[in-house]
Amino acid sequence: MAEKNQNQYHPPESIGHHQNNQESLHTMEDEEAKRKKRMKWTIGIIALVIFQASPSFGISFVAPIPVKNTNWGPFKYDTSTVNFSYGGVQVGRAINPKSMANCKSTKKINVNVTLSSANLPSNINSNLGSELSSGVITLDIIFMFMFKKTKISQMNCTMVINTSTRAVQSLSCK
């Protein structure tokens, strides 16, 4: 009977030590799996940040600018500036050369324009992405004339560019 008790008796230290080894193996395997999972997430997030394309545009076109003279005499004007802005930030500029519009006529001037979103701040770029994906960009145009009698006239316009057809969709002036 003494032999039976000896076979059945296990010291508590050896049982606890055996369980601790198994628990530590499971814990180490779990920690390793968690570490690998964190590495995958980290690599994915870094790749998303690096390869994320920021919305931008670069457009070059010839803008036909009409100068309408409703007077009975000729209308002379000096060099003028056309500023294109998006969200209040200038994205392009064109120079209109010195010229003259005859009486009761409209003079059509073709001006080369290059627009770029390189100078836009990031808070405005968030709206730009949605406009570019829709295929339409809305720009504000400020047209400043310098008259011979040292008066300045300012014309505010809004232009909508359809990026899918690569054409000016609408132009409205105030």
Angle subtended at Cα 74 by Cα 69 and Cα 78, rounded to the nearest 5 degrees: 85
pTM of this prediction? 0.51
DSSP SS3 for 119: coil
Q: What is the pLDDT of residue 122?
A: 66
At a CB cut-off of 8 Å and minimum separation 6, what does 130 contact? none
Side-chain-facing half-sphere of 23: CA atoms under 13 Å: 6
Q: What is the pLDDT of residues 78-88, one digit of tens each?
A: 777 777 777 77
DSSP state of 36: H
* Interatomic CA distance for residues 84 and 157, integer angstroms: 9
Say if residue 104's pLDDT is above 70. Answer: yes
* Interatomic CA distance for residues 91 and 140, integer angstroms: 10
Q: What is the pLDDT of residues 67-81, one digit of tens each?
A: 777 778 887 777 777
- Residue 159 structure tokens: 């232009």
Q: What is the pLDDT of residue 16?
A: 47
At a CB cut-off of 8 Å and minimum separation 6, what does 118 contact? 56, 58
Closest CA to 161 of 123, 115, 119, 126: 115
* Interatomic CA distance for residues 76 and 71, integer angstroms: 11
Q: What is the pLDDT of residues 115-172, one digit of tens each?
A: 777 777 666 656 666 665 555 566 656 555 555 555 555 566 677 777 677 777 776 7
* Interatomic CA distance for residues 56 and 162, integer angstroms: 15
Q: Which residues pair with 99 in a beta bridge?
A: 77
